[in-house]
Amino acid sequence: MPDPIPGVSPAFQAFLREAPQTAQAWTAAVRGVAEGSALDRKTAALAYLAVLAALRLESGVPFHTTLAKQAGATRAEVVSALLVGLPAAGVGVTQALPAALAAFDAP
């Protein structure tokens, strides 16, 4: 079994391991969406975090927080992205904060 991928949830790692052809197709689709976007990498990463928080998909938050940080996002920008959906999605978006902050602060 391959080593765990830092920041990637066990569920997504199982997907990659157990359904490699489907995972490859998924990855190609994700790459296509990213390449077709008019958003720069940092803005896209922050927007993605906002969507994850609004949909309560906390398992993806550490990985995508790291991507946002690598794209130049600050800690305050990550927090703001997670909370931008607060008025529409409710206080549930705050559930993503602990995982995001831990990922951002990790060396």
**pLDDT, tens only, 58-83:** 999 999 999 999 999 999 999 999 99
What is the DSSP code (8-state) at residue 106? -
Q: Hunting for tokens 């600050």 — which residue is that?
A: 74
Residue 4 has pLDDT above 80, yes or no: no
pLDDT in tens, 8-33: 889 999 999 999 999 999 999 999 99
CA distance 15 to 74: 30
- Could you tell me which CATH class the domain 39-107 is placed in? mainly alpha
pLDDT of residue 84: 98
Averaged pLDDT for residues 26-47:
96
Q: What is the domain partition of the chain in residue ranges?
A: 9-38, 39-107
